[in-house]
Amino acid sequence: MGISYKPLWKQLIDKDIKKINLIKSAGLTTNVMANMGKEKYISIQNLEKICRALECTPNEVISFKPEKVKNE
């Protein structure tokens, strides 16, 4: 199953928060933000930092997308 950060991007738009401001307020590195932009996994610790900074739940930051099934 793949991961998507679309809920996070929506949160940032809705709350009018720039990515750089989230990096600062959550204590993230730019590498973590870059990984999220590429839909790569991040640690639970980083997810927690984001949730605390945005005062939200993990469901408001990530969602899971089904993997494509290959026809055999």
Residues in the chain: 72
Q: How far is CA 15 from CA 10, 19, 25, 44, in A?
A: 8, 11, 14, 23
Paired with 4 in beta bridges are 63
Instruction: State the pTM of this model.
Output: 0.85
Question: What confidence tens digit (pLDDT) does each residue in 8-49 have?
Answer: 999 999 999 999 999 999 999 999 999 999 999 999 999 999
47 in Cβ contact with 27 (< 8 Å): no
Say if CB 7 and CB 36 are below 8 A apart. Answer: no
